[in-house]
Chain A
Amino acid sequence: MKVRSVLKCFFLPSLSLAMLAGGLQAADYQKVDAGTYLKHKGAMDDPRPVYKDLSYKKVLPPDVYAKLSWDVPTMEKAWKEVVGFAAPEVVGKIAPEIKPGKYTYKDMETMPGLKELMIPYFRDKFFKPGAPPWLGNFPEMTLIPTRQFYYQLPVAEATKRNEGKTKLDSKGYIIPSSYESGIPFPRPSGPFKAQQIVYNWLKNYWCAESSDSVGFFLGFNSHMKMDFNGLIEIKTVRLQGRCAIAPLGYFDERAKSRKEQSAVMLSYLAPRDQYGTAVSIVSYENPADFDLFQVYVNVLRRVRRMSATDTQDAVGGQDIIYDDNSGFNTLNPNRYPYKIELVGEREYLVPFSTDGSIYLSSKKGLELKNVEMERRPLYVIKMTQLDKNYVYSSRLLYFDKENFVLYHIENYDQKGRLYRTNDTFTTFVPEMGMTTQTFVISRDHVDLHSSCATPFITPITWLRRGDMSLEGMIKKGK
């Protein structure tokens, strides 16, 4: 080969290409990509308050930040009108003697009220010193005053405007065409109250209607040795019922004509084996329609169609299955249907991180540090699987009564054993009416394995369809 000829042939055009690209106007937005995130928050042993250091006011262009922020008192008032209460007003009834302050797990022995306020799984498996086989125990926490959670003002307005329009059929399944936007059942009631709560979660507006996120994903075996270390970027778009970020209503004509509900584009930056792999998932309004699931396979350099029915196998060494991503599989009367019951309605202590300073310690049994908890009014839903061939026999879910966010899930296998749990620690951004994921812990109680994710989610306004489709996969792929 004539090296000089090849270099001349390709170097010059490549250089021109690079100069042309570089000459175009650069984005006036400091994207929180992997590099930026790594500078402000390490995967472990890092107590820095990432939501202060990388506040949305700092990372978003001023006009975008202004578009995504609303007057707090107005949002508080609007949401209270929608759901009928504010959380601080309805908590404090159980163990009122447990006040904000610092507590350790030992306090449960001397303060029965503290024990009573803990979700049973937390009491038994989380609020204690770190030890094998799972990461994420926390021996101390700070109890903070209960806050009012609410959504963006347009979401409250849409919820109010569309209240009563969303219908369930005679078996409690949503009639897709009856839903327009907003939270469908802001005041759940009646014989299908449990189903309404579940649909409120499925249609919720947490983490923004369009977002770009980056995060670590770490896996540990039962000896607390790291066996997986991933770095992932995720783009998500709500395709239907958009209220706060333009375009409103349906994202585009394709979403409208095909009745698409949401789209996710996930790309792996690490580990090396998965670098350059991209996953695209489009979900539909009609639960009878299976997701469009495509993967750009890095080593093949090809897009492969995957079966959207492959939802029960663990995702590449992680402690969740595809069906666990939204908490549970699509509610479909003809495919793994559930009997859904409301089994509890009371306040519990729920973990949060107000500023993102929560972190996993590499010492002392992989303890979680800087955990904050607050009293939250919760719904406890039990979903009993009616098909004995499904991987789980039942699920127990804990939803927030005020914003319907799902915090804790327990999944039991067909033998009745606790199989997998999933816990989401959130951060609330008051001026944006947004609840975002900060720390996620998944545990496998049968294989004795655990993993955690630390997403940093940025609401953005400039996602294109191309970013979420074939074009996006090829661009993110190797």
Chain B
Amino acid sequence: MRRMFLASVIASVLIALLAIGQGIAAEYDVGGRPFTIMGYITQGAAFNITGKNRLDAPQDLESALTNVFLETAYKPRDDLKFYGSGMFTADWAYDIKSNNNDWVSKGFASSRSNLYMDNKDWQLVKEAHVTWTPPNWNIRLGKQIVSWGEMDGFRLIDQINPLDGRRGFADVEFETTIIPLWMAKAEYYVPVKPSWIQDLGVEMVFNPNAEFVGNQFIKPGNNAGGIWAPDINSGLPSPPFPPGAVANVGSANFDFQRPTAFNSSGYEYGLRIKSVIHDSIITLNGFYGLDQMPVAKVTGMDPLTTAANGNLLLHPDFTGKYPLMRFVGGTFSRDITPLKASFLGGVAPVLRFETFYEFGATEWTSTNDWVHRDEFRYAAGMDWKVKIPVLNPRAYFTISPQFTDRRIMNYPDRTDFTLQTPGGPLYENNYLTSLMITTSYLHNKLVPSFFWMRDLTNRSNFFRYQVVYDYSNKWHFSLGVMTFSGSIQGQGFEPFHDKDEVYFKISYKFG
């Protein structure tokens, strides 16, 4: 481990020196063709601001995240490109606070093995693919990202690549959270079309299950999930416990059945028809594969333990699998020009819509069993730029609301059982909405933004206030605050109610 750490530090320093010493562009000539190196180095710090000495929140510094992202591209021919990227992530809070009594006694130090350093091969090697683009074709083999959908922050139809959510809502870069997979993708753009179709392409995706990763979710228990471990309580049986006794959900054991490498049970297939019709982008999507999120049952309980504050901690055993996922869906996007208004700046909103119908989704019940139900999910979003001169005389405000519903078809009669997720009940309709507002000052150098996500069904909120200063196209500084609240214990964002934090990040981007 020490060697790995030292190697990582040396690599980071070398990359930094290489980057800083590069001047305008990190480009080399290899065989007469350009070979590009670029990336970024970020260093962040986050401080809990809940203000109370809570079991699920460290005092003061709670993370000191470093990301080093390196990407390379080489084009030996105009129609052939090799691309690779790698990332190193470390949270130095585990070193800085290793002797901190609060950090150790609350169990955060014990999550070191999960969250100190991302050094698994699938974490270090992000993308590695070759792309061949003869006329009308785009063929890509290798570890890659295939991104579907129109929504930001909500994942409906975008189900091919898993997500790394272990670090919760921390201000990580987009490319750090999507997990590339080894896949083959072929796109064919149809040259002869009816005149009412401006563009038409067919995309086929095959995942041979070279390495099943699945979504990386926040684990319960400070000693497993770290600073983002949710605060969830569960009632204890009486007797033997006093009436009304509760325990916190602590670390759990997860035993998820996953397909072995290249086993056909893990094969995944995606088909997307992409088109531009009358200036609208329309896609039809179909997917057959595995849900990146497992479904689980409680199959046991380890002995109760006691937390630093004297609370009892439950340690459930979960057994589960990554169930089959089959859906068809589509997306639509265009601007609605009749809605432009001169007094608002003359910009028409862009409407984004996406939907899918999943056949036979596997759901967890309140009776700790699995059932199959179809699901219908849809989401609508809008991006509207408006001019508010009194607040910003020179730049526009971009206002982006989104709404989504996850509807369970043939929802069970509640007298039998209800459906649930680890994050709380799953209702017949499950509504989420979000709002993003951003603008810019100082010639686009200062970008403040406000983001609000509301779980309408569980009546909970997540707010993020952030300002980014782009000193140059190399140096960027971010400062922000995140807050969480909820009305129903253990549901929606409520389990994160003690996670309010202020964060700061410096980024150096090169290439």
B21 is an interface residue with CB less than 8 A from chain A: no
Which of B91-99, B273-281, B497-505 lies at the interface with chain A? B273-281
B428 is an interface residue with CB less than 8 A from chain A: no
Beyond A299-B175, A309-B340, A474-B187, is A228–B142 a contact (Cβ under 8 Å)?
no
Q: Is A316 in contact with B444, judged by CB distance below 8 angstroms? A: yes
Choose from A2, A258, A292, A471 the contact partner of B261 (Cβ within 8 Å). Answer: A2
Specify which chain B residues have a CB less than 8 angstroms from the CB of A345 in the assembled complex.
none
**How far, in angstroms, from A15 to B476 measured CA to CA in the complex?**
39
Q: Is A317 in contact with B470, judged by CB distance below 8 angstroms? A: yes
**How far, in angstroms, from A367 to B25 measured CA to CA in the complex?**
22
B241 is an interface residue with CB less than 8 A from chain A: no
Specify which chain B residues have a CB less than 8 angstroms from the CB of A307 in the assembled complex.
335, 337, 347-350, 383, 385
A60 is an interface residue with CB less than 8 A from chain B: no
Q: Is A304 in contact with B135, judged by CB distance below 8 angstroms? A: no
Choose from B27, B78, B182 the contact partner of A27 (Cβ within 8 Å). Answer: B78
Majority secondary structure, A binding face: mixed
Smallest Cβ-Cβ distance to A269: which chain B residue:
B36
**How far, in angstroms, from A2 to B121 measured CA to CA in the complex?**
11
Q: Is B346 in contact with A390, judged by CB distance below 8 angstroms? A: yes
Q: Is B141 in contact with A14, judged by CB distance below 8 angstroms? A: yes
Q: Is A466 in contact with B135, judged by CB distance below 8 angstroms? A: yes
**How far, in angstroms, from A312 to B195 measured CA to CA in the complex?**
32
Q: Is A272 in contact with B509, judged by CB distance below 8 angstroms? A: yes
Choose from B80, B82, B136, B473 the contact partner of A230 (Cβ within 8 Å). Answer: B473
Q: Is A10 in contact with B141, judged by CB distance below 8 angstroms? A: yes
Q: How far is the CB of B89 from chain A (nearest CB, A)?
A: 17
**How far, in angstroms, from A317 to B471 measured CA to CA in the complex?**
11
Q: Is B38 in contact with A314, judged by CB distance below 8 angstroms? A: no
Smallest Cβ-Cβ distance to B173: which chain A residue:
A299
Q: How far is the CB of A344 from chain B (nearest CB, A)?
A: 30
Which of A28-36, A119-127, A146-154 lies at the interface with chain B? A28-36
Specify which chain A residues have a CB less than 8 angstroms from the CB of B333 in the assembled complex.
304-305
Identify which of residues 26-62 in chain A touch chain B, using a CB-to-CB cut-off of 8 Å. 26-27, 31, 33-35, 38-39, 43
Number of interface residues of B (CB under 8 A): 94
Specify which chain A residues have a CB less than 8 angstroms from the CB of B77 in the assembled complex.
21-22, 26
A301 is an interface residue with CB less than 8 A from chain B: yes
Smallest Cβ-Cβ distance to B83: which chain A residue:
A478
Q: Is A387 in contact with B335, judged by CB distance below 8 angstroms? A: no
Specify which chain B residues have a CB less than 8 angstroms from the CB of A305 in the assembled complex.
280-281, 333-335, 350, 352
Q: How far is the CB of A335 from chain B (nearest CB, A)?
A: 7
Q: Is B445 in contact with A227, judged by CB distance below 8 angstroms? A: yes
Q: Is B121 in contact with A335, judged by CB distance below 8 angstroms? A: no
**How far, in angstroms, from A317 to B276 measured CA to CA in the complex?**
29
Specify which chain A residues have a CB less than 8 angstroms from the CB of B79 in the assembled complex.
21
Q: How far is the CB of A430 from chain B (nearest CB, A)?
A: 30
B86 is an interface residue with CB less than 8 A from chain A: no
Q: How far is the CB of B274 from chain A (nearest CB, A)?
A: 6
**How far, in angstroms, from A247 to B486 measured CA to CA in the complex?**
63
Q: Is A475 in contact with B130, judged by CB distance below 8 angstroms? A: no
Specify which chain B residues have a CB less than 8 angstroms from the CB of A38 in the assembled complex.
25, 27
A407 is an interface residue with CB less than 8 A from chain B: no
Specify which chain B residues have a CB less than 8 angstroms from the CB of A3 in the assembled complex.
121
A71 is an interface residue with CB less than 8 A from chain B: no
Q: How far is the CB of A341 from chain B (nearest CB, A)?
A: 23
Specify which chain B residues have a CB less than 8 angstroms from the CB of A466 in the assembled complex.
135-136, 189, 191
Q: Is A310 in contact with B187, judged by CB distance below 8 angstroms? A: no
**How far, in angstroms, from A305 to B283 measured CA to CA in the complex?**
13
B416 is an interface residue with CB less than 8 A from chain A: no
Beyond A38-B27, A307-B335, is A474–B138 a contact (Cβ under 8 Å)?
yes
Smallest Cβ-Cβ distance to A449: which chain B residue:
B443
Q: How far is the CB of A197 from chain B (nearest CB, A)?
A: 26
Q: How far is the CB of B37 from chain A (nearest CB, A)?
A: 10
Q: Is A312 in contact with B345, judged by CB distance below 8 angstroms? A: yes
Contact with B along A5-22 (1 / 0, CB 8 A): 110011001100110111
Specify which chain A residues have a CB less than 8 angstroms from the CB of B387 in the assembled complex.
312, 389
Q: Is A309 in contact with B195, judged by CB distance below 8 angstroms? A: no
Q: How far is the CB of B156 from chain A (nearest CB, A)?
A: 13
Identify which of residues 30-89 in chain B touch chain A, using a CB-to-CB cut-off of 8 Å. 32-34, 36, 38-40, 76-80, 82-83
B139 is an interface residue with CB less than 8 A from chain A: yes
Specify which chain B residues have a CB less than 8 angstroms from the CB of A302 in the assembled complex.
147-150
Beyond A21-B79, A469-B199, is A270–B346 a contact (Cβ under 8 Å)?
no
Q: Is B141 in contact with A6, judged by CB distance below 8 angstroms? A: no
B394 is an interface residue with CB less than 8 A from chain A: yes
B211 is an interface residue with CB less than 8 A from chain A: yes
Q: Is A227 in contact with B472, judged by CB distance below 8 angstroms? A: yes
Q: Is A1 in contact with B211, judged by CB distance below 8 angstroms? A: yes
B410 is an interface residue with CB less than 8 A from chain A: no
B101 is an interface residue with CB less than 8 A from chain A: no
Smallest Cβ-Cβ distance to B508: which chain A residue:
A272
Specify which chain A residues have a CB less than 8 angstroms from the CB of B129 in the assembled complex.
14
A236 is an interface residue with CB less than 8 A from chain B: no
Choose from A10, A18, A310 the contact partner of B80 (Cβ within 8 Å). Answer: A18
Q: How far is the CB of B260 from chain A (nearest CB, A)?
A: 9
**How far, in angstroms, from A422 to B471 measured CA to CA in the complex?**
24
A308 is an interface residue with CB less than 8 A from chain B: yes
Q: How far is the CB of A394 from chain B (nearest CB, A)?
A: 17
Q: How far is the CB of B334 from chain A (nearest CB, A)?
A: 6
Identify which of residues 173-205 in chain B touch chain A, using a CB-to-CB cut-off of 8 Å. 173-175, 182, 184, 187, 189, 191, 193, 195, 198-199, 201
Specify which chain A residues have a CB less than 8 angstroms from the CB of B121 in the assembled complex.
1, 3
B133 is an interface residue with CB less than 8 A from chain A: yes
A444 is an interface residue with CB less than 8 A from chain B: yes
Specify which chain B residues have a CB less than 8 angstroms from the CB of A231 in the assembled complex.
25
A107 is an interface residue with CB less than 8 A from chain B: no
Specify which chain A residues have a CB less than 8 angstroms from the CB of B38 in the assembled complex.
270, 272, 275
Specify which chain A residues have a CB less than 8 angstroms from the CB of B182 in the assembled complex.
6, 9-10
Beyond A305-B281, A310-B347, is A34–B76 a contact (Cβ under 8 Å)?
no
Choose from A9, A17, A39, A449 the contact partner of B262 (Cβ within 8 Å). Answer: A9
A254 is an interface residue with CB less than 8 A from chain B: yes
Beyond A17-B132, A26-B77, A469-B199, is A301–B473 a contact (Cβ under 8 Å)?
no
**How far, in angstroms, from A139 to B98 measured CA to CA in the complex?**
62
Give the one of A254, A272, A311 with max B CB within 10 A: A272
Specify which chain A residues have a CB less than 8 angstroms from the CB of B82 in the assembled complex.
18
Q: Is B201 in contact with A470, judged by CB distance below 8 angstroms? A: yes
**How far, in angstroms, from A423 to B459 measured CA to CA in the complex?**
55
Beyond A1-B121, A229-B473, is A6–B138 a contact (Cβ under 8 Å)?
no
Contact with A along B452-496 (1 / 0, CB 8 A): 000000000000000000111110000000000000000000000
A173 is an interface residue with CB less than 8 A from chain B: no
Specify which chain A residues have a CB less than 8 angstroms from the CB of B24 in the assembled complex.
43, 229
Q: Is A446 in contact with B394, judged by CB distance below 8 angstroms? A: yes
Q: Is A271 in contact with B509, judged by CB distance below 8 angstroms? A: yes
**How far, in angstroms, from A14 to B132 measured CA to CA in the complex?**
10
Q: Is A1 in contact with B78, judged by CB distance below 8 angstroms? A: no
A81 is an interface residue with CB less than 8 A from chain B: no
A103 is an interface residue with CB less than 8 A from chain B: no
Q: Is A33 in contact with B383, judged by CB distance below 8 angstroms? A: no
Choose from A5, A35, A464, A471 the contact partner of B34 (Cβ within 8 Å). Answer: A35
Specify which chain B residues have a CB less than 8 angstroms from the CB of A317 in the assembled complex.
443-445, 470, 473
Q: A227-B473, A317-B473 are in contact. List 12 more A-B contacts (CB 8 A).
A: A17-B141, A18-B130, A33-B34, A230-B473, A270-B38, A300-B152, A304-B333, A311-B347, A312-B347, A312-B387, A335-B346, A470-B199
Q: Can you report 7 residue pairs joining A to B where beta carbons are below 8 Å apart?
A: A14-B130, A22-B77, A228-B472, A294-B281, A303-B281, A307-B385, A336-B342
Q: Which 8 A-B pairs have the closest CB atoms?
A: A301-B147, A35-B34, A471-B189, A307-B335, A271-B473, A1-B211, A470-B199, A305-B333
A residues at B contact (CB < 8 Å) = 1-3, 5-6, 9-10, 13-14, 17-18, 20-22, 24, 26-27, 31, 33-35, 38-39, 43, 221, 225-231, 253-254, 257-258, 269-273, 275, 290, 292, 294, 299-314, 316-317, 335-336, 387, 389-390, 444, 446-447, 449, 464-466, 469-471, 474-475, 478
